[in-house]
A and B are shown apart, each in its own frame.
Chain A
Amino acid sequence: MSMLRQRKPKPQLEEHEEEEEEEEEEKKKKKVRPTEDPPLKKRWSCVDSCCWFIGLICSIWWFLLFLYNAMPASFPQYVTEAITGPLPDPPGVKLQKEGLKAKHPVVFVPGIVTGGLELWEGHHCADGLFRKRLWGGSFGELYKRASLSLIPPGPLCWVEHLSLDNETGLDPPGIRVRPVTGLVAADYFAPGYFVWAVLIANLARIGYEEKTMYMASYDWRISFQNTEVRDQTLSRIKSNIELMVATNGGKKVVVIPHSMGVLYFLHFMKWVESPAPMGGGGGSDWCAKHIKAVMNIGGPFLGVPKAVTGLFSAEAKDVAVARALTPGFLDKDFFRLQTLLHVMRMTRTWDATMSMIPKGGDVIWGGHDWSPEEGYDCAPKKQKSNDTMITDSNGANGRQSQAEIVNYGRILSFGKDVAEAESSKIERTDFRGAVKGNNFANGTCQDVWTEYQDMGIGGIKAVADYKVYTAGSILDLLHFIAPKMMKRGDAHFSYGIAENLDDPEYQHYKYWSNPLETRLPHAPEMEIYSMYGVGIPTERAYVYKLSPTTDCNIPFQIDTSADGDDDSCLQGGVFLVNGDETVPVLSAGYMCAKGWRGKTRFNPSGIPTYVREYDHAPPATLLEGRGTQSGAHVDIMGNFALIEDIIRVAAGATGEDLGGDRVYSDIFKWSEKIKLRL
């Protein structure tokens, strides 16, 4: 270093550094040279080559690291702009130039899986992980435990700590895993994988900061009411919203729930106005006083078919992103052959997954021969037209004649032929009365608790013989195969349609997260948005088969060999429909397009609703990362159009100012087909 100063400065900084390193290398060489000559050839062995190789890699790595650190922070942007042309201003900058300012406080409600969980008390195998993230963050501990600690099997320790108690759905004894609090809870799911971070950064541009933004993080594993019982999370959200309204001059909050957070916030709105022992005791005008708008992003209002397969066979065509992140880890041998079983055991203790079982039964999701989406054309769109804001029915009819009609209503069918046959031709035997055997309960896999062991071969066969399950009968199926889990779940969630909303039974909290069994609060000035991506094939129904019988396997699996023609909706055993990759359009859009539109019995005060769809456009180049026009379930959080809408509303705009509905899909047409008394 000191030599460096004496030298004449060179014009370019980088070259300067080059020289510096060069000098050091020369110095090293001088030191090394005397020792090297004669004995080298003898000693030059395999170990030396290894060392040499490692050294080379290390040096290069350090050098790159050094370059990376010395690089100005804006450098990647220059590269990107050089290749793709100038990027559009991020919405925050654009709107700041328009003169928008922070006005309404915003509340984020993260969805399932995306929030971080940290350890507060654990068993011995988790020593040293106090307040470290078990979920979210780098997942480093998961791999570290797996590779380093030889004593107890590492990943099992992790699974053990993330599982909940079978009976209560709460903490197992001696373990306390709690949600991370603050904006960090869900800004990035893993390093570099943003969830809320882009939105937060853009809001900050127009003046938002910690005091006007609040991340309502909650433990997404346990049922909604239990977050209040165990952690008083709902009370904390209430208190925080009240505080933000009070300290921001009485400006109401804009709430932005994502994914399952949508249901959670629905639950919250009922909870907060209900009287005290079960509810929050805020009084019947709490929502009207404190909430300006609820901007639901990708909300599974009516459930997700994915949740069914998750519970049924743990084929976690994951709920959000877990699978994309850890594909290797879900595959077989990681946990010594029982990966899926362990995952299933873990997820079955998570009550929250049951909140996303399809709701509304056959009325919404279709019966054996009927479904609202029938006639949907799965052929990839040849051209993307910008003017399909309102779908014209002629075009849709034209397509319908060509495309085969898919029976989306049959959410599970055993065998491809069954999925496509006419309902009168299917032979079925009822499984409900089938006797469960006890045939292989004493197998080798007793420690894994999935309830399948209790079923026996008879029970499994009965399930397969029933052939076809619709949204209504799936509930019976789940009750049959996993009675204990569903017993727990039934105490917290309900999936029906209310006949008479005045019935006092609907005051129970288990109905609060089902939009078809609750009324919206009385708040005519509040606005409800449903914002979601469209244009991505989304799982809607499945073709199943019995898996080859070994003791410890899950007896059912998706028949991935069932494929249709090129343009068919059937791919890899899954019937696809329009949606955002996770939630079908029907679930995300129906309530705002029809169920709550105008004054209905579910929306007695006539809260205005808006449907805002974002057509998916995949990122043009790798440099764009996850894209600025994505419509995928999580990536939509980086969609510039969506962010712009949110910022405008937060800065005071109403739904009318945004331009009302913005629709690309057939959601209005499909909603018309659903015969629900409103």
Chain B
Amino acid sequence: MASSILRFRKLCYVEPVNCFSDSKIKDPVGPIEKALPELRKQRKQRRGWRCWDMCCWTIGYMCTTWWLLLLLYHSVPLTLPGLQVPESPGLKLKNRGLSALHPVVLVPGIVTGGLELWEGRPCAEGLFRKRLWGGSFTEIFKRPLCWLEHLSLDNETGLDPPGIRVRAVPGLVAADYFAPGYFVWAVLIENLAKIGYEGKNLYMTAYDWRISFQNTEVRDQALSRLKSRIELMFVTNGYKKVVVVPHSMGSLYFLHFLKWVEAPPPMGGGGGLGWCAKHIKTVMNIGPAFLGVPRAVSNIFSAEARDIVFARAMASGFLNSDMFGLQTLERVLRVSRTWDSVISLLPKGGETVWGNLDWSPEENFACDPARKRLLQASSQANHSHPITNSSDGKLRFGVEDPIRFGRVISFGKDSSQLQSSQLKLNDFKELLRNRGNPKQSSCNGEVWTEYEDMSKESIQAIAENKAYTVESYLDLLRFAAPKMMKRAEAHFSHGIAENLDDPKYSHYKYWSNPLETKLPDAPDMEIHCLYGVGIPTERSYVYKLSTPSNKCKRIPFRIDDSANGNDGECLKNGVYFVDGDESVPVISTGYMCAKGWRGKTRFNPSGSPTRIREYQHKAPANLLEGRGFESGAHVDILGNVAMIEDIMRVAAGEELGGDRIYSDILSMSEQVNIRL
């Protein structure tokens, strides 16, 4: 069939005008082959020749020019004279005589790791061991539904659906580039290689970032593999302890690992007490989401993927369009709700950390650019003596009514700003009882978001409870998506431990919550928090009910993007912003290192030293710099020259200085009232 079409096609090249009479379309082969000599004759007549030639000529001309330019581009030396590229930290440190000392383990975060297909449905034929996630994403466009089906997990178990096996890509290639040209770890790897790192002392932890942490061990033995790898590198590199560099959700994963490895066998790795002290020198968390991310809130609630890292930037058009027949967002919501790991990113610590209806640790944060400059000046002044002192926070006190960041979700702009006494609040527990009868839902539920099971009344009732804090939000989720929460809460917990010696805390679901676990007994193991600051970061949301045109096919809630504040306010398009690295607010990245683990606390009984290194965001000066050498953004920070230098110095055995702080993290931490 194809070949006949092909032949047909070629004929059309020769004589495009006559090809398309209707009879010929119906039967492309027969008549045309008969007509072949005739066509050749006509070809000699110059009629119709020229326009076709002109087309060819134009295309040829363009191609040739393009190739010439390409050739020129390749022969031009890599560094243009105009562009000031800072000396790469690798070379700089090599010239200073540093060389590889401690083995380095990289732990990628959510979304950035590649996933490949090992077994699939018939629609995925030919994709064996090809990347479904990461790489070029061509499959999304070729067969979107098939793609989504393969990336979903089972609703009940949170593991593989029957007949589908999608696994993490192993090795450094797993997360060096997310997509062609979009680096994640590649810059760091290249710089490490300059001082002598290579496959034997540099390891990328591969784990399936969709499933819950403990399940990576149950299904893939990922934790065991990490343990065995660290032990091996420790031994083969002359008994040098490893430096671990987790990023984003990887920090939580590695926290989980730290507990797992010392826990006794059936549930844990059986490494015994002291394993961490023996094998780990430093944990250098990059942009760690220790206490969760507000973004996860909106993501789970309405799939408005103000994406967790950058899926949205990659596929913004694709999320909004009608490509999947009107249900894009619903399908995305459905898929991402099967990913347990997203739940690990929900804010932890409840109202104590994230604030209640009237109070939040960041309430004095100023979004006004003018005042920001002032702030920067003051913090730069502080830079000379690195630890900011909280007294200068007073400058900003009482200027305006503080923003109530504590209301993670509020329905309507007004209710995000009113005093709590004026707010209309319903009691949630009651709602839980009359959730509505699933049978009454009229949708034949192909799309599983659990919103179909909800009655109109209960949706209305949700919206009438005007504001939600982090804690009541969790209740809300339990109400709106009971199955998902049931699955997820077997693996994650979001509270604060009263008594860490309670035997229940030896369960694995607490291991990734820093407020419900003790750090291992390793007084020499250092914990660093490295993160960018100076970028507005989502902190809380203003929602509205979406237009109820078609109840089945809609997610009933939407971010109210018409809600904007005045110039100086932090509200933009329905989102309140606060200082952070674009994804994770400072309070989440910095609190544990600044306060929760500092000194000997109950979360850090052996007093492992902590250190904070903040990197002030500076946007790239021009396009040639790409994503910048001084970026503080959540992922782009992996190309930040200063941060790379810090990591390399630690890996080569040097001492870093003390804290380096630009934000108000210390004064914010003071306001968080946790017994330590």
> How many Å lie between the Cα of A127 and that of B88 in the bound state?
14
B193 and A120 contacting across the interface, CB-CB below 8 Å:
yes
Chain B residues in 8 Å Cβ range of A547: none
In the bound complex, what is the Cα–Cα distance between A242 and B58 (angstroms)?
63
Q: Is the CB of A131 within 8 A of B118?
A: no
Q: Who on chain B is nearest to A19 by CB?
A: B20
In Å, the complex CA distance between A552 and B161 comes to: 65
Among A28, A63, A67, A239, the residue within 8 A (CB) of B231 is A239
Residues of the A chain whose Cβ atoms lie less than 8 Å from the Cβ of B119: 204-205
Q: For the complex, give the distance between the alpha carbons of A590 and B8 in Å.
A: 60
| Segment with Cβ contacts to B, from A174-182, A371-379, A434-442, A609-617 | A174-182
| Bound Cα distance A276, B196 (Å) | 26
Contact B57 A246 (CB under 8 A): no
Residues of chain B with a CB closer than 8 A to A176's CB: 198
Give the CA-CA distance A73 to B1 in the complex, in Å.
15
A235–B232 contact, CB under 8 A?
yes
Cα distance A40–B51 in the bound complex, in angstroms:
11
Whether A67 contacts B198 in the complex (CB less than 8 A), given A204-B128, A209-B118, A239-B231, comes out as: no
In the complex, the answer to whether B59 meets A232 with C-beta atoms within 8 Å is no
A34 to B315, CA, bound (A): 41
Asked if B56 and A232 make an inter-chain contact with CB atoms under 8 angstroms apart, the answer reads: no
Given A32-B51, A73-B125, is A55 in contact with B172 using a C-beta cutoff of 8 Å? Answer: no
- Quick check: is A56 within 8 A (CB to CB) of the other chain? yes
A234-253 interface code vs B (CB 8 A; 1 in, 0 out)? 01100110110011000000
B318 CB, min distance to chain A CBs, angstroms: 17
On chain A, the residues within 8 Å of B220 by CB distance are 210-211
- B54 interface contact, C-beta 8 A: yes
A337 to chain B, nearest CB (A): 26
Q: Are B51 and A29 in contact (CB under 8 A)?
A: yes
- A131 contacts B189, C-beta separation under 8 Å: yes
Task: Indicate if the CB atoms of B199 and A178 lie closer than 8 Å.
Answer: yes
Pair B221/A211 contact, Cβ less than 8 Å:
yes
Q: Are B199 and A33 in contact (CB under 8 A)?
A: no
Please judge, given known A-B contacts A67-B6, A127-B78, A181-B171, whether A74 and B221 are in contact too, CB under 8 Å.
no
Q: Is A165 an interface residue (CB 8 A)?
A: no
B60 interface contact, C-beta 8 A: yes
Quick check: A209 and B165 within 8 Å, CB to CB?
yes
Interface string of A34-46 (1 = CB under 8 A from B): 0010001000000
A22 to B20 Cα, complex, angstroms = 9
For residue A98, which residues in chain B have a CB less than 8 angstroms away from its CB? Answer: none
Judge if A130 is at the interface, Cβ distance under 8 Å.
Answer: yes
B228 at the interface (CB under 8 A from A): yes
**In the assembled complex, A1 has its CB within 8 A of some CB on chain B:** no
Q: CA of A218 to CA of B20 in the docked complex: distance in angstroms? A: 60
* Residues of the B chain whose Cβ atoms lie less than 8 Å from the Cβ of A243: 221, 224-225, 228
- Flag if A71 contacts B2 (CB, 8 Å): yes
A87 and B385 CA atoms in complex are apart in Å by 76
> A15 contacts the other chain (Cβ, under 8 Å)?
yes
**Would you call B74 an interface residue if the criterion is a C-beta within 8 Å of the partner chain's C-beta atoms?**
yes
**Bound form: Cα–Cα A184–B194 in Å:** 24
Instruction: Determine chain A's interface SS by DSSP, over half rule.
Output: helix
Asked whether A56 lies within 8 Å of B60 as measured between CB atoms, the reply is: yes
Interface of B is mostly: helix
B200 surroundings in chain A (CB, below 8 A):
231-232, 236
With A36-B51, A148-B75, A239-B232 in contact, is A50–B60 under 8 Å at CB? yes
> Smallest Cβ distance from B3 to chain A, in angstroms?
9
By a CB distance below 8 angstroms, the chain B residues around A128 are 78
Contact in complex: A51, B225 (CB < 8 Å): no
Instruction: Report Cα–Cα, A74/B123, bound state, in Å.
Output: 10
Q: Contact partner of B60 among A32, A55, A130, A240, CB < 8 A?
A: A55
In the complex, chain B residues whose CB is within 8 Å of the CB of A209: 118, 165, 167
- Min Cβ gap B322→A in Å is 12
Q: Is the CB of B171 within 8 A of A22?
A: no
Chain A residue at minimum C-beta to C-beta distance from B225: A243
Chain B 114-151 interface residues, beta-carbon cutoff 8 Å to A: 118-119, 125-129
B53 within 8 A of A: yes
Please name the residue on chain B nearest to A73 by beta carbon: B126
Which B residues lie within 8 Å of A127 (CB)? 78
Whether B170 pairs with A210 at a CB distance below 8 angstroms is yes
Any chain A CB within 8 A of the CB of B64? Answer: yes
Is the C-beta of B619 less than 8 angstroms from some C-beta in chain A? no
Residues of A within 8 Å of B198, CB to CB, are: 120, 176, 178
Measured as residues with beta carbon below 8 angstroms from the partner, the interface class of chain B is 35 or more
Closest chain-B Cβ to A408's Cβ sits at a distance in Å of: 43
**Which chain A residues lie closer than 8 Å to B224 at the CB level?**
243, 246-247
- Whether B50 lies near A52 (C-beta < 8 A) is no
Kindly provide the distance from the CB of B648 to the nearest chain A CB, expressed in whole angstroms. Answer: 15
B377 proximal to A (CB < 8 A): no
Stretch at the interface among B9-17, B30-38, B276-284: B9-17
Q: Mark B185-201, 1 if CB is under 8 A from A, else 0.
A: 00001100110101110
Give the residue of B10, B50, B57, B165 whose beta carbon is less than 8 angstroms from that of A51.
B57
In the complex, are the beta carbons of B54 and A32 less than 8 A apart? yes
Given A25-B16, A239-B232, residue A55 in contact with residue B55 (CB < 8 A): yes
Q: What separation, in Å, do the CA atoms of A457 and B72 have in the docked complex?
A: 50
How far apart sit A184 and B220, CA to CA, in the bound complex (Å)? Answer: 19
Pairwise interchain contact A239-B63, C-beta atoms closer than 8 A: no
Measured CB to CB, the closest approach of chain A to B86, in angstroms, equals: 18
Bound complex: CA A211 to CA B220 (Å): 6
Cβ proximity bits B423-446 to A, threshold 8 Å, 1 near / 0 not: 000000000000000000000000
- The complex places the Cα of A54 from the Cα of B58 at a distance, in Å, of 10
Chain B residues with CB below 8 A from A58, complex form: 59-60, 63
A200 to B129, CA, bound (A): 10
The residues of B that contact A75 with a CB separation of less than 8 Å are 2
- Is A201 an interface residue when CB atoms closer than 8 A count as contact? yes
Distance A60 CA – B13 CA, assembled complex (angstroms): 9
In the bound assembly, the distance between CA atoms of A201 and B168 in angstroms comes to 17
A121 interface residue (CB < 8 Å to B): yes
Selected contact of B232 from candidates A33, A179, A187, A236, CB within 8 Å: A236
Q: Closest approach, in angstroms, between the C-beta of B93 and any C-beta of chain A?
A: 14
Q: From the candidates B19, B60, B78, B221, name the one contacting A53 in the complex (CB within 8 A).
A: B60
Known: A36-B54, A51-B57, A211-B225. A18 touches B64 (CB 8 A): no
Q: Nearest Cβ distance between residue B270 and chain A, in whole angstroms? A: 10
CB of A672 closer than 8 Å to a CB of B? no
Closest to A35 in B: B54
B652 to A: closest C-beta gap in Å? 16
The smallest beta-carbon distance between B48 and chain A, in angstroms, is: 9
| A-B CB contact pairs (8 Å), 29 listed | A22-B12, A22-B20, A28-B58, A36-B51, A51-B61, A52-B60, A53-B56, A54-B60, A55-B56, A58-B63, A59-B59, A67-B5, A73-B125, A121-B193, A121-B196, A130-B190, A148-B75, A150-B75, A181-B171, A182-B173, A187-B129, A201-B129, A205-B119, A209-B165, A210-B168, A211-B221, A235-B235, A243-B221, A243-B225
Write the residues of chain A forming the contact surface with B, with a CB cutoff of 8 angstroms.
14-15, 18-19, 22, 25, 28-29, 32-33, 36, 40, 48, 50-56, 58-60, 63-64, 67, 71, 73-75, 120-121, 127-128, 130-131, 148, 150, 176, 178-179, 181-184, 187, 200-201, 204-205, 209-211, 231-232, 235-236, 239-240, 242-243, 246-247
| Beyond known contacts A29-B54, A52-B60, A64-B6: 19 more, CB 8 A cutoff | A18-B9, A28-B55, A32-B51, A40-B50, A51-B61, A54-B63, A55-B55, A55-B58, A59-B55, A71-B2, A148-B75, A187-B129, A201-B128, A201-B129, A210-B167, A211-B221, A240-B228, A243-B225, A247-B221
Counting from the closest, the 5 A-B pairs by CB-CB distance are A55-B60, A73-B126, A51-B60, A55-B59, A55-B56
